[in-house]
Structures are given as C-alpha cells and as structure tokens.
Amino acid sequence: MLRTGSIVAWLLVTSLLFSGCDDSSPASGPADLRTVAEWAALLPEQEDFDWSDQPIRFSPPPTDWERQREQSGGLFGARFVKYEAGGQAIEVAEFKSVGDRDRCAELSDLHREIEELDAREFARRLQRARPYLGPTAINASERKGFETANRRLDKARDAFRSGKLDESREHISSALWDLNWVRYELPDVIERALFTGKGWGGIGKIELTEPVDTMVAGRPAVILDYTLAPRERPGLLQGRKVYVEHNNRLFVASFQGIEAYLPLFEAMVASVSFPTGSCEH
C-alpha cells in the first residue's frame, strides 16, 4: 500500500502553500476561466520522464510552476508546484513496488555484459536481477512466469560456475522470454495504490467519491476525486488521482488545489503517451 508518510508530505505541501496566501487571490484572474482546450494550447511540448525502464511522456505545466523531484512512499516521479493563485500541486509518478518486481532491465543488462563479469560480480548481479514474487503473486501469469524464470536463472548460475558462458547466456535469454509473457491489468495492481484517505485525519476532513473508469493514452484508467477541508485554514481543496497501467508499470497522476486548475490537470493527463520501454511485455 502507499505509505502514509508520502500522503502526509503531499498534504503538508499544499496546506502550507494555501496558508501563506490571501484567500481572495485564487478567485480572480483569467487562468481561472480557462477550459481544458485552452490549457492544452498553453502547455509546453511533451517531455519524456524516465524513472525506470518504462518512460512516460506528457506536457508539463507552464514554466511558472516550479518543478520538484518526488521520491517517497514508493513513488518516483515529478511534482509541479505553483505558489501563486493560492497554491497548487500536480504530481506524476510511478508506483515502484509494481514496476520493480520483474527486474527486467537488470536481467537484460546482465545478459549483455556477462562476458565482462567475474564469478563474484556475476553472482551479485544475478541475485539483483531475479524476479521478485513476494508473499503474494499479482496474478497467475506472474507466478508462472517468475517461477519459470528463476529456475532458468538457477541453470544460468550453474553454467557460469562451470565456465559455460554461452550456455549461461542462453538460460538468461530464456528467462527474459518468460518474463515477456507476464501480463498485468489495471485491476490486478490498482489496489496496491488506490487512495483511501487513511492517515489524513490529522490534516483535515476528507471526502472521497467512488472511482470512475476512464481511458488514458488508450489504456484503461481510474479517476478518484476527493475534497479536503484543512484544519489550519478555511476553504476546500479539490483533489484528483488518475491511475493507469502500461507495460506492467503503474503510474499515478495527482492534483490538489483549487477547482479552477483542474482543467490544466486534465489537459496534462490528456497529453500522456508511453514511448517504447527497454522491456516490453
């Protein structure tokens, strides 16, 4: 599950932003009246954000939003903060506990560099490259694929110890083939990240809506909206989280701020696409 620490940190960012601003400032200005299409026309060109072996491409907010790094609570990504207009925060990140399971990139590197490794380094790299099943498999294809791949990697280890590098490489190649057949769907992985509001009670009162199915970049996705009434200031914050799975990786786009900036967030989400990753499933 998503760790409470990252949730609280996210809340503190937006609560502090709002606490330092005039309550009247968000209510004025042409930006408050812009539609999704108008925001889309103002967004910069798409950028590739590469936090793992599967990049995500989207148009970031305009340049007056400060770009920060997000790396907490199992999330790796980017946060964009606007200190004016009452304070807004947008985040796009990958949920690493899903993407790190198959170790596909590490195994591909091992396959490519095997001739450069001595026995000790090979053993270390092989251990790091083994797919991680964990206490519970995500689905049946993962269990079968990971177990088969790990058996092949045992054979790769034994072949390397016997000095049979070509045979060892063949076993690693077969393990990669097994991993390519592992498939996750959004319902398999979303429960690991779906926002529940737990851990937010000390910050304010939160109300969640029911998740709604949608599409992002041609992939099934889920939208979860919520409102937050902070304890430290009057007013209501709007929140939205959008979850999408692609190539066995789970991504989360989040917004928290005033409702007038939701169209900007929607335009960013509409710009999302997924370049080819180094490991395709």
Residue 280 lies in a domain: no
- Please give the structure tokens belonging to residue 71: 């790396």
Residue 279 lies in a domain: no
Q: Among 180, 208, 240, give the residue marking a domain's end.
A: 180
Closest by alpha carbon to 244, among 219, 269, 209?
A: 219
If asked whether residues 93 and 18 sit together in one domain, one would say yes
Helix or strand or coil: residue 280?
Answer: coil
Widest CA span in the chain: 74
Alpha helices in the chain (DSSP H): 4-19, 36-42, 96-99, 104-113, 119-129, 140-161, 165-180, 186-189, 262-270
Q: List Cα–Cα distances, 74 to 2, 67, 264, 279, in angstroms.
A: 7, 19, 26, 21
pLDDT of residue 83: 78
Residue 236 lies in a domain: yes
pLDDT of residue 199: 78
Total domains in the fold of the chain = 2
pLDDT in tens, 11-59: 444 444 444 444 333 333 456 689 999 999 999 999 999 998 999 999 9
- Provide the whole-model pTM: 0.87
For tokens 């996210």, the residue is: 10
pLDDT in tens, 92-106: 999 999 999 999 999
Q: Which DSSP string corresponds to 141-187?
A: HHHHHHHHHHHHHHHHHHHHHTT-HHHHHHHHHHHHHHHHT----HH
Q: Any idea what the CATH number is for the domain that residue 14 is in? A: 3.40.1000.10
pLDDT in tens, 175-231: 999 999 999 999 999 988 999 988 776 778 899 999 999 999 999 999 999 999 888
Q: Among 152, 180, 208, give the residue marking a domain's end.
A: 180
If asked whether residues 49 and 72 sit together in one domain, one would say yes
| Residue span of the structural domain in which 118 resides | 103-180
If asked whether residues 26 and 78 sit together in one domain, one would say yes
Q: What phi and psi, each to the nearest 5 degrees, are found at residue 96?
A: -70, -25
Percent of the chain with pLDDT over 90: 72
Q: Which residues contact 12 (CB under 8 A, 6 or more apart)?
A: 203
If asked whether residues 175 and 121 sit together in one domain, one would say yes
Residue 250 lies in a domain: yes
Residue 170 lies in a domain: yes
If asked whether residues 216 and 91 sit together in one domain, one would say yes
Residue 275 lies in a domain: no
pLDDT in tens, 53-95: 999 999 999 998 999 999 988 899 999 998 775 568 999 999 9
How many residues are recorded in the chain? 281
Residue 29 lies in a domain: yes
If asked whether residues 107 and 94 sit together in one domain, one would say no
Q: Among 180, 207, 240, give the residue marking a domain's end.
A: 180
